[in-house]
Each structure stands twice: as C-alpha cells, then as structure tokens.
Structure 1
Amino acid sequence: MSENLKTIKELADELGVSKSYVDKIIRILKLHTKLDKVGNKYVISKKQEKAIITRIEKPKTTTESTTKLHTKVNSEVDFLKEEIAYLKSNHDKQLTSKDKQIESLSNLLDQQQRLALQDKKLLDEYKSEINDLKALKMPTQETEFKHLDNQYKDEVNALKEKLENLQEQIKVQKRIEEQEKPRKWWGLWRK
C-alpha cells in the first residue's frame, strides 16, 4: 500500500481507538462515500486522516472542558439545591409563624366580638333599668291626678272645718249677744 493511504484499522490502532469508532467518525464527517477501496479494504487519504484525527482529538478537549463544565454546573446545582432546601424550610417556618399569627388574631377578633356583644347586652340592661327608675321618679298622670285630687280634698276638708268652726263661733257669738241683750217681757216665750 502507499504511504499516504491507511486502512481504517491502521488509523484506529494508531489513534488508540476502536475500528467502529473511526467508522462512526467517518460517517459523521460524511466521508464514507469518498473513501477509496483497495482490494476489499477501504483506505483513507492524508486529507481525510487529518479531518478524522481533528474530530477525534476535538472531543477529548471538549470532553475535558465538558467535564469541568459539568463539575461547575454540578457544584452550582448542589448549591442551588441547598439554597432551595434552606428557603423551603425558612418558608415553612414563616408559614407556620403566619398561621400562628392568623390564629392569634382570629382568637382576638372572636374575643373582641364576644366582649362587644356583652357590652351591648349590658348597655341594654342599663337602659332598661334607667327607664324603670325614670318611671318610678316621674309619677304618671293618674298618680298626679290622684295626688292633686287628694290634695284638693284635704284643702276642701280643711276649709269645711274652718267654715264649721267659724259658723260655730258665729253661733256662740250670737248667743252671747242674745244673752247680753235685754229681753222684753213679751219675747220670753220666743226663743
């Protein structure tokens, strides 16, 4: 064979990779239609060999950079996972705290509403008591009329007594005057 041409097996041995891997690279680079056949073996030209070698070595550097990139990405993913876990636990704590605050405020609101209801009941009771006391202090019209009627009756009775006393005194005075008057003999049978 010529020095410029190598078989797929020779190139694979030289690069330290398998024959099938070299064949795969040939297919990726679409060189399989351009290969020359010597006997029953395909041979690769220098130009094709350079393209295959470049392609095989490129993934090695790409693999190294990809490995570094994967390592960096993995460390960032781990960091983000830790941060997510921290934020999740912190979020859970905050939710628990907020739930407790809501429960506390709900209890306070309920208590305030009960106190407001009690205050309203007490206020209604006090209003009722005040109205009862006002009713006791302010006599009704009937009570006033009875009171006035009794007062007038008492005054009338007092005036009647005075009148009777005055009439009695007048009678007594008349008797005294009659007794002091000289009597005439013809008026003795009168009286």
Structure 2
Amino acid sequence: MSENYKTIKELADELGVNKQNVQYHIKSLPNKERLKNEKGIILLTIDEQNFIRAKILKVSTDKVLADKVSTDKVLADKVSTDKVSTDKVSTDKVSTDKVLADKVSTDKENNFLIEKIKIQEEQIRDLKEQRRNGKEQLDIKDSQIAQMQNLLDQQQRLALQDKKLLEEYKAENDRLKVLKMPSKDKKENQSQEEVQTIKKQMEALNDKIKGQKQLNNQVSKKWYQFWK
C-alpha cells in the first residue's frame, strides 16, 4: 500500500482522536466516492487526509481556545472570589479591631467613672463625718452654755438671798440694839420673854446664813469644776 493512503484508523491514531470523529468529517468531503483496498477498507488520499486533518485540528484548536477561555474565566472568577473573600476578611478584621478598640475605650471610661464614684463616695463620707463631729461639738457647746446659764441663775438667786439675809440680819441687829439701849420711850419693865424670842430669831437667822454660805461654797465648786 502506498504511504500516500491511510485508513480511517491510521489517521485517527495519528491525530489522537477516535474513528467516529474522522468518519464525521469524511461526510464533509467534496468527493462522495471512497477509495477502498482489497479488504474493502476505506483509504484516504493525501488531499482527503489534509482536509480532515484541518477540520479536526481546527476543532481541537477551537476547543483548546474555548477551554482556555473557560479556564481563564474560572481563574478570573476564583481571583474575584478570593478578592471578595480577602476583602471580607479584611473588612471583618477592621470591624473586629474597631469593636476591640471600642471595648478598650469603653472599659477605660468605665474604670475612670468607677474611680470617680469611689472618690465622690469618700468625699461624701468625710463630709458626713465632719457634719457629725460639728454637730457633736455644737451639742457640747450648747450643753456648756446651758450649764453656765444655770450656774449664773443659781449664783444670782444666792446673791439675792444673801442680800435679803443681810438685810434681815441688819434689821434684827438694829432691833436688838434698840432693845438693849435705855430709852425714855421704852418701859424698863420690858418682859424677859420678848428678849428671849429675839435671841431665838437671831440664832435661826445665823443658822440660815450658815446654810446659805454652804450653798455658795457648793456653787463655787461647780464653777471650778466647769472651768477646770
């Protein structure tokens, strides 16, 4: 067999396709009559081989280009998806960082407010303590003033009593002198009983003056203890 002729299988093996692919393109040949060998196998001439080869190579090239375009599209979509995913991750990271920063800022503000509240509470406690101490001091001063006023009133009463007793004592003394002194207006036979009565009144007055002196001494001791 001449090397210029090839069977369908030989051409298919050469082009790396199956026999059906070659048979499909044989239908497009201008010459409808086929050359066959002694076994009835179709033989393809050089022109027929070149025609079918061009068809198959064009289809393969178109397929490769289409596959390449599809692959490029897939790659582009993947790059776009990866970019979207990367952008989302980046956005999520920025959002997370902002949330963390806000939380840190909020925690700092909360800590500052807590410390400020503690300081204010301590100041309030100090003011309350000062107010209690001031009230206690005022109560002590009021009590001291009241005691002093009582002592002054008591001293005034004692002074009035002393003055009254002295006046009574002076009057009794003057009366006694009058009784003892001889007088033309007085009767010499004045009864001894009247003299005794006057003496008793003088003794009672002396006892009263002694009691008043003791009371004055007690008041003086109170004044001493108050100012001590």
Considering the TM-score relative to the shorter chain, is it more than 0.5? Answer: yes
How far 1:8 moved relative to its partner? Answer: 1.5
Aligned residue for 2:213? none
Q: Deviations over 1:122-174 (max 9, x none)?
A: 11111111111111212499868855753553244133223223314533663
Unaligned stretches of 5+ residues in structure 2: 22-36, 43-54, 196-228
RMSD value, Cα: 4.5
Report the CA distance between 1:60 and its aligned residue: 5.7
Q: Which moved more, 1:117-126 or 1:94-103?
A: 94-103
Q: Aligned runs of 1:90-101 on 2, under 5 Å?
A: 90-101=91-102
Aligned mate of 1:22, from 11, 15, 18: 18
Aligned residues between the structures = 163
Q: What secondary structure does 2:106 align onto?
A: helix
Write the mapping of 1:41-56 to structure 2, written as runs, cut at 5 A. none
Relative to the length of structure 2, the TM-score reads 0.51
Name the counterpart of 1:113.
114
* Identical aligned residues as a percent: 7
Radius of gyration: which is bigger? Answer: 2
Tell me how far apart the structure 1 counterparts of residues 98 and 123 of structure 2 sit (CA, whole Å).
37
After TM superposition, the structure 1 = structure 2 runs for residues 112-131 of structure 1, keeping only pairs within 5 Å, are: 112-131=113-132
Offset from partner CA, 1:100-134 (integer Å, 9 cap, x none): 22112111111111111111111111111111111
Q: Which residue of 1 aligns with 2:67?
A: 66
3-state SS of the aligned residue for 1:78?
A: helix
Instruction: Measure, in 2, the Cα distance between the counterparts of 1:146 and 1:164.
Output: 26
- Specify the alignment match of 2:223 in structure 1: none
Q: Which amino acid aligns with 1:110?
A: N
Question: Judging changes above 3 Å, is the alpha-carbon distance between structure 1 residues 141 and 180 closer, same or farther for their aligned structure 2 residues?
Answer: farther
User: Counterpart of 2:77 in structure 1: which amino acid?
Assistant: E
List aligned pairs for 1:173-188, cutoff 5 A: 174=175, 182-186=185-189
TM-score (structure 1 length as normaliser): 0.58
Paired letter, 1:122: Q
Structure 1: stretches of 5+ with no match in the other structure: 26-37, 44-53
Structure 2 CA distance for partners of 1:184 and 1:93, relative to 1, 3 Å? same
